[in-house]
Amino acid sequence: MHDVARLAGVSHQTVSRVINGSPSVRPETRQRVLRAIERLGYRPNTAARSLVRGRSATVGILVAAPPLFGPASVQRAVNMAAREAGFFASSVSLAEATRGAFDAAVDHLARLAVEGIVVIAGHDEALEGARSGSAGPPMVFVDGDPNRSRRTIGIDDVAGARLATRHLLDLGHIEIAHVTGPLDGAVARARTAGWRAEMVAARLRPMEPRSGDWSAESGYHAGLALAENPLVTAIFAANDQMAVGVLRALHEAGRSVPTDISVVGFDDGPEAAYLIPPLTTVCQDFDATGRAAITTLTAAILGEPHHRRSVIDLDLIVRASSAPPPVRNACAAI
């Protein structure tokens, strides 16, 4: 560690803070230390550090969300960020999102002496269980409701849904349907709220949304129903997997995408660019989410204050599944 400090031109305490993932190190200093670590091939002895600090150097990852692309990508990113910060990571996935299951998972992680827990939450009940549970390791929530905890990491789902809806409005669509995720989760409610808010801002009356459960199958059934409505010229699905189901349903119904109906998803999964047609979708940076979660958790473990939610940037990736509405509808709008 002293060799790294000498090469980087910093104190060994600064090297220690970088290794332990402290957020109090300036980015340029952190990069200088990381370059020195790489050049010297330095590898901290985690077991020895744990003995010296009297801590386990282990964090828990509690997944209270369905095993779909979004939560799985967040879990992978948190795991990688934990390892980079010098932690071991132990993961527990809930078979059901109940208070009892959540308490049992936290108890299991506590017996492993984890220093903190990252909760990837997809259901209100799991979040409520975390909020009302007994004192234990500090927790950071990913994709949780920011009103429930000040240590929440995630994207602005409302802004992302508004971005997708505004894209379709700018193309000239006025009848934009929405396929929701399960509304017992903050993410699905936020994306529905963003779609509705953008429609209202455009002085349009949003139609009743179609409920889904994040799966391609639910998107397929919603797409079949929407294909029967001749007024619908665009569909915004709350995730890419439901958008995949929508695309198949429209194809089976003889509705061409995007000639007859445009489709937009959310997440930018690896298959999105290779669908027929390639899917327009909202892209979120899962790696940045993982790093922010571990940085926030490290600050909590060290007793450093964290007073506001960390919001990860997102972007709209425009591909061939979205286009202006058919001429007949464009004329009707005029």
Q: How much of the chain exceeds pLDDT 90, in percent?
A: 58
More confident: 308 or 300: 300
- Does the pLDDT at position 131 exceed 80? no
- Does the pLDDT at position 292 exceed 60? yes
Count of structural domains, the chain: 2
Please, what is the Cα angle at 30 between 29 and 35, to 5 degrees?
A: 100
Residues 15 and 164 in one domain: no
More confident: 176 or 134: 176
In a domain, 59, yes or no: no
Residues 322 and 190 in one domain: yes
Distance, in Å, from the CA atom of 241 to the CA atom of 208, rounded to the nearest integer, reads 21
How much is the pLDDT for 334? Answer: 42
Distance, in Å, from the CA atom of 96 to the CA atom of 123, rounded to the nearest integer, reads 10
φ/ψ (deg, to 5) at 74: -65, -45
Strands 262-267 and 280-284: parallel
Distance, in Å, from the CA atom of 324 to the CA atom of 174, rounded to the nearest integer, reads 11
In a domain, 260, yes or no: yes
Residues 175 and 32 in one domain: no
| Domain CATH for 1 | 1.10.260.40
In a domain, 162, yes or no: yes
Strand order in the sheet with 152-155: 88-93, 58-64, 116-121, 139-142, 152-155, 310-312
In a domain, 36, yes or no: yes
- Tell me the mean pLDDT in the region 295-299: 90
- Does the pLDDT at position 329 exceed 50? no
* Strand positions, DSSP E, 174-309: 176-180, 210-211, 234-237, 262-267, 280-284
Q: What is the mean pLDDT of the chain?
A: 87
How much is the pLDDT for 178? Answer: 98
Q: For the segment 216-239, what is each residue's pLDDT rounded down to a tens digit?
A: 999 999 999 999 999 999 999 999
All residues at 6 or more sequence positions from 182 whose CB lies less than 8 Å from its CB, including other chains: 123, 188, 211, 212, 213, 214
In a domain, 99, yes or no: no
More confident: 236 or 111: 236
Residues 321 and 198 in one domain: yes
Q: Exposed e or buried b for every residue in 251-262, given b needs 16+ CB within 10 A?
A: eeeebebbebbb
Residues 169 and 37 in one domain: no
pLDDT grade for 132, boundaries at 50, 70 and 90: low
pLDDT grade for 330, boundaries at 50, 70 and 90: very low
| Domain CATH for 253 | 3.40.50.2300
Q: pTM above the 0.75 mark? A: yes
How much is the pLDDT for 126? Answer: 62
- Does the pLDDT at position 143 exceed 50? yes
Question: Could you tell me the residue range of the domain that residue 245 belongs to?
Answer: 157-284+316-333
Residues 164 and 22 in one domain: no
How much is the pLDDT for 333? Answer: 44
Residues 31 and 169 in one domain: no
The answer to whether 200 and 182 are in contact (CB under 8 A) is no
In a domain, 104, yes or no: no
- Tell me the mean pLDDT in the region 161-167: 98
In a domain, 201, yes or no: yes
> Closest by alpha carbon to 15, among 33, 3, 35?
33
